Structure 1
Amino acid sequence: MKKLYKILLQQHLGAPDSPLVKIGDRVERGALIAEPVRLGANIHASVSGTVIDVNEKEIVVEADEVQPDTFQPIPASDSIVEMIKAAGIVGMGGAGFPTHVKMDIDIKGGVVIANGAECEPLLAHNIKQIQENPAVVYRGLIYAMRATNAARGIIAIKSKNTKAIASMKSVIDDARIEVATLPDLYPMGEERAIIREVLGQLLKPEQLPSAANAVVCNVETLAAVCEAVELKKPVMTKNLTVIGRLKSGREANIFMNVPIGTPIKDLIAEAGGIEGDYGEIIMGGPFTGKSVDIDSVVEKTTGGVLVTLPLPKEKRKMGLLVCACGAGEVRLRELAQKMGAEVVSVERCKQVVDVKNSIKCENPGNCPGQAEKVLKLKKNGAEVLLISNCSDCSNTVMGVAPKLKLPVYHHTDHIMRAVGHRLVRRLKIE
């Protein structure tokens, strides 16, 4: 039986793409099959085969049994930004913002920061790429510097990842480029957090990195930039981590160059299959991932596939504490419902501010005490808390809640427990 690949028409920030193919069309790997009508990014065939369905959400390709190593190249151009655009590159760390839009800026004298923080716990594919193929990330950074007229480049990696740091340093031969180390806390991969740590400048929640004369790009995104410029290669694959309640054990299963549109159930099976009962399948990381069904497929922004323990049942009245760095109120309510809990009160972390229909943290990962918020939740009838706070903020919650006899769940507990990872409670911060 031939494999089917469902290639979604919206794998980026913006509107869904418009299909360029119809049912019955023959497509080759790398062929342009959809293009944006507004903000968006080109989408290419990740496999060679026949289009068997086109609808408002996806293009379905029945793959040939034998796949070529070759691909249809993107058009050549003297403009790096145009090649990035043609290749359909987006923020592959999860945000999905079209990279050609981000790179279409002149930051003369500024800096491009390669985000190698691998911010979310449990994910490991970015670090694997840095360790095993640092040169492609490095050259992608150089192309990004040329595109944006930057004077400097910085590769930001957590200090604990010593092998990745050594690997990256081994390929640097340009005095304008350096490696900077980051503390091991969440959300150190957030753009404003990286700029604060690396450049010593705290941006306001509504400010973009350009306010610091900087551009921040995920390392996998920069690798894609390198391949677009040097090989004329479009985005057809994704690196990702599969981990959780698996028969293969607790270690991360890292998959490199997975064709876009691959069913995640195939990757779970290749990782050994699910061990017994499970709670959720999360696409993304423990903090910001979304619960999906097993028939979901790999997208350009897919970073992780996490199989969790069953959620505990909770009959006590629940209070929610929402953090801009983790799950939002909708996600916390979803978890509370799955746990069977009645939500009686909702509070936001004291650093949360509203910015353009979303919430942001005033100072990501550097949070003051949450005593007032915890007291409000208890006053409003909460007998147990469900929180989505960052490392530092969770520590402050745990400094108060036990004294008030309020048990605390963190929204990442069911995946952290599945792999024996330390819970987000009173973590040691560097």
Structure 2
Amino acid sequence: MDKMFKFPLKMHVGAPCEPVVKEEEKVQRGQCIAEPTKGLGAKIHASVTGIVSKVTESEIIIKADENQSNDYLKIKQCDSIIDSVFEAGIVGAGGAGFPAHVKLKAEIADGYIVANCVECEPLLKHNIKLLEENPEMVIKGIRYAMEATKAPKGYMGIKSKNKKAIDSVKKALNGATDIEVKELQDLYPMGEERALIHAILGQWLRPDQLPLEAKCVVLNTETLANITRAVENRKPVIDKDFSVAGKLKSGKETTVFFQVPVGTQVCELVEKAGGIDGAFGEVVIGGPYTGKADNLENATVTKISGGAIVTIELPEFTGKLGLLVCACGASEERLKDVASKMNAEVVGSVECKNIEHIKNASKCKTPGD
């Protein structure tokens, strides 16, 4: 059976990329298949060697060759870290998808690189496991980001409960003072940028302010590892770390997959993690707070998807239901989706008093506090 890999043309903040390949064209793992042409965006590369099966306005589908190699076409040799990050198509791997090369253009000679190592959403564990097993990859990424932005100091925000990861990072730092580990409370959403900056620097940014106003550039754990791969190995973002958890035959422990080819079907990873244990409710792509339900057969790994969570069967709710919408959690649309699957009668919806509407987004005034 042919193995198909799907590449959405929008795996980042900004406009969708434009395909630079055609149907029936042979492509190599690591080859650029789509480029940003309308402002903000990030290049997309093939994660497998194969034949382009289909090109649409929203995605590229590649039929993978039967025999695959971990080798890849390297990005071109670049003169700067920022150019390497752009060529590699690096975006925020924590879910936001903001193009990393844009962040690194900031010059903060009196500022900080803040490594978001919080792994905010419950059940997702690939970032923490990376820190436990290969902290050097992330530390190098912080230093490359410091070099690009001229920031003299780096901070790594890690929840204090992740003792093994903290010990691993401190051992790798070996007494260095340019990067400091900050142990954080086990609160949600401690990984929100403003919550992280407040916990580390004691400064609250308004909902309409960006981290740069606190002289900070915030980058996710896996994003930093991808910067290291781009600079040292000229590797584009063609693989993704991924967590699978929930109602599985293997039990309650989260299974972490490192460097899964982008475009892989999520159902394949769920099976590798043990398979679904009987009847279930939803498959949530992302974390339990801000993830979205998806069809297991259609869901694919993207540059910004962090995990898949198989839920228990959703219980029926026969009474009337009111919704409280929080900027730090699910949207009203998502809450209504869950309520409808529980056959609940939604009679009202109110917003948390801490919400502020900034452009098209809802922001919390003091996230994590």
Category of TM-score, reference length = shorter chain: over 0.9
Query: Are positions 1:233 and 2:247 aligned together?
Result: no
Give the Å deviation of 1:343: 1.3
Hey, what does 2:182 align to over in structure 1? Answer: 180
Q: Quick one: distance in 2 between partners of 1:59 and 1:141? A: 32
Q: Quick one: distance in 1 between partners of 2:71 and 2:270? A: 27
Give the Å deviation of 1:230: 0.6
Hey, what does 1:290 align to over in structure 2? Answer: 292
Q: Quick one: distance in 1 between partners of 2:294 and 2:117? A: 26
2:324 counterpart letter in structure 1: L
Give the Å deviation of 1:2: 3.0
Q: Quick one: distance in 1 between partners of 2:139 and 2:274? A: 34
Q: Quick one: distance in 2 between partners of 1:328 and 1:4? A: 32
Counterpart mapping for 1:244-393 below 5 A? 244-294=246-296, 295-366=298-369
Counterpart mapping for 1:94-243 below 5 A? 94-173=95-174, 174-243=176-245
Give the Å deviation of 1:248: 1.0
Hey, what does 2:84 align to over in structure 1? Answer: 83
Moved more, 201-210 or 307-316: 307-316
SS in 2 for 1:227: helix
Q: Quick one: distance in 2 between partners of 1:99 and 1:240? A: 20
Alpha-carbon deviations, 1:92-116, whole Å to 9, x = none?
A: 0110111111111111110001111
The number of aligned residues is 366
Alpha-carbon deviations, 1:211-232, whole Å to 9, x = none?
A: 1000110010000001100111
Query: Are positions 1:43 and 2:49 aligned together?
Result: no
Give the Å deviation of 1:69: 2.3
Q: Quick one: distance in 2 between partners of 1:131 and 1:19? A: 38
Q: Quick one: distance in 2 between partners of 1:116 and 1:296? A: 26
Alpha-carbon deviations, 1:316-359, whole Å to 9, x = none?
A: 11110010000011111111111111111111111101011110
Query: Are positions 1:14 and 2:14 aligned together?
Result: yes
Q: Quick one: distance in 2 between partners of 1:80 and 1:121? A: 33
Normalization by structure 2: what TM-score? 0.98
Q: Which runs of 4+ in 1 moved over 4 A?
A: none
Hey, what does 1:24 align to over in structure 2? Answer: 24
Give the Å deviation of 1:151: 1.1
Moved more, 1-10 or 357-366: 1-10
Q: Quick one: distance in 2 between partners of 1:20 and 1:49? A: 15
Identity of aligned residues (%): 52
Alpha-carbon deviations, 1:351-370, whole Å to 9, x = none?
A: 1010111100000022xxxx
SS in 2 for 1:85: helix
What do you get for the CA RMSD once the two structures are aligned? 0.9
Gaps of 5+ in 2: none
Normalization by structure 1: what TM-score? 0.84
Give the Å deviation of 1:28: 0.6
Q: Quick one: distance in 2 between partners of 1:327 and 1:271? A: 26
Gaps of 5+ in 1: 367-430
Give the Å deviation of 1:149: 1.0
2:334 counterpart letter in structure 1: R
Counterpart mapping for 1:66-81 below 5 A? 66-81=67-82
SS in 1 for 2:173: coil
Q: Quick one: distance in 1 between partners of 2:77 and 2:180? A: 30
Give the Å deviation of 1:192: 0.3
Hey, what does 2:5 align to over in structure 1? Answer: 5
Larger relative CO (CA 8 A, sep 6+): 1 or 2? 2
Q: Quick one: distance in 2 between partners of 1:269 and 1:172? A: 37
Give the Å deviation of 1:237: 0.6
Q: Quick one: distance in 2 between partners of 1:299 and 1:69? A: 18
SS in 2 for 1:171: helix
Q: Whose radius of gyration is greater, 1 or 2?
A: 1
Q: Quick one: distance in 2 between partners of 1:16 and 1:337? A: 31
SS in 2 for 1:203: coil
